[in-house]
Amino acid sequence: MEENVIDIKGLKKNFGDKEVLKSVSFSVKKGENMIVMGRSGEGKSVTIKCIVGLIWQDEGSVKVFGKEVKEMTENELKEMRTKVGFLFQNAALYDSMTVAENLAFPLTRVLKIKNAEEIKTRIHETLDSVGLEDTVDKMPSDLSGGMRKRIGLARTLIVKPEIILYDEPTTGLDPITSAEISELILAIQKKNNASSIIITHDMQCAKITGDRMVLINEGECIGEGSYEELQHSPDKFIQSFFK
């Protein structure tokens, strides 16, 4: 079980003159939850967008399931994307659709499930797991920010992806819901043997869900290890995250 499902080496990305990523390298093993931390605007979101080919890096290599993303054909990329779930930082719900239609979208379009009964049960199950069963027929515009985030999470999880990229799953949630979401992430990992990258500023979430952590600063990885290891790191900057 020591194979890497995600392998990032020397990732570099500029936007115009702005150097965002200089050299980011880390890997995620099968069944592992990897926490990514760093200050706002350091390029954490950019990093995980490179994994699914939403942003193309300037240099460096990103391998998913052992295959270089840049060299994938259109079909391979699509195939890979169906196995990778992506929770957007701002949830990115389809706002012309109801919550149920949002959740059904990946089921019917990607998994090509035709059975209405199955779709219904899965929607119900998934909404239940994020604690929002009663929003089925609501429009995204009628939901609060935290609810949108949880529906976004439900839409990501409903296809049972093998790899899940969470972009700040608990930001904007109250401490109780945050803790519930963290437990949910942990449960998903256990149940589906899913591997995840979790970007978060929430130390509680990091502590609960993370197997390992990596810290990104000024476009480079400055620390990697378990929660305890980093917590007791002599580095002042790393220390400051744990206060």
Partner 1 sequence: MYSNFISLSKKAFESLGEQALFLGSFFRNIFRRDFEWNELIRQCYLIGYRSFPIVALTGFVLGFVLTLQTNPSMKEFGAQNMVPGMVSISAIREICPVIIALICAGKISSGIGAELGSMNVTEQIDAMEVSGANPIQYLVVTRILASTLMIPLLTIFADGVAIIGGFIGTNISGDMSLSLYFRKSIAALVFSDIFPSFIKSVLFGFVIGFVGCYQGLHSNRGTESVGLAANAAVVSASVWIIIIDAIAVQITSAFVYN
Ligand X SMILES: Nc1ncnc2c1ncn2[C@@H]1O[C@H](COP(=O)(O)OP(=O)(O)OP(=O)(O)O)[C@@H](O)[C@H]1O
Spatial CA neighbour of 111 closest among 67, 155, 166, 66? 155
Q: How far is the CB of 213 from Mg ion (least distance, A)?
A: 16
Among 23, 96, 115, 226, binds partner 1 (CB under 8 A): 96
Neighbouring CB atoms inside 10 A of 142's CB total: 12
Q: How far is CA 134 from CA 66, 128, 140, 161, 215, in A?
A: 41, 9, 13, 24, 38
40 binds ligand X (CB under 6 A): yes
Q: Indicate whether 17 belongs to the interface with ligand X (CB under 6 A).
A: no
Site string for ligand X, 175-214 (x = CB under 6 A): ----------------------------------------
Which of these ranges, 34-42, 91-99, 118-126, 144-152, lies near ligand X under the rule CB under 6 A?
A: 34-42
Q: How many chain residues are in contact with ligand X, going by CB under 6 A?
A: 11
Q: Would you tell me how many other CB atoms lie within 10 Å of the CB of residue 243?
A: 5
CB of 77 to partner 1, least distance (A): 9
The entry of ligand X, Mg ion, partner 1, none that residue 81 binds, CB within 5 to 8 Å by partner kind: partner 1
Give the whole-angstrom CA distance, residue 227 versus residue 233: 10
3-class secondary-structure state, position 101: helix
For the chain, the 3-state helix, strand and coil shares in percent, each to the nearest 5, are 40, 25, 30
Strand partners of residue 225: 213
**Position 22 contacts ligand X (CB under 6 A):** no
Does the footprint of ligand X cover residue 20 (CB under 6 A)?
Answer: yes
Kindly tell me which residue out of 45, 126, 189, 200 binds Mg ion, with binding defined by CB under 5 A. 45
Among 15, 56, 237, 242, which residue interacts with ligand X (rule: CB under 6 A)?
A: 15
187 binds partner 1 (CB under 8 A): no
CB 11 within 8 A of CB 23: yes
* Pick 13 or 212: Cβ nearer partner 1: 13
Per-residue b or e along 162-198, where b marks 16 or more CB atoms closer than 10 Å to that residue's CB: bbbbbbbbbbbbeeebbbbbbebbbebbeeeebbbbb
| Of 8, 24, 84, 151, the one binding partner 1 by CB under 8 A | 84
Q: Which residues sit at the interface with Mg ion, rule CB under 5 A?
A: 45, 89
Q: Which residues sit at the interface with ligand X, rule CB under 6 A?
A: 15, 20, 38, 40-46, 89
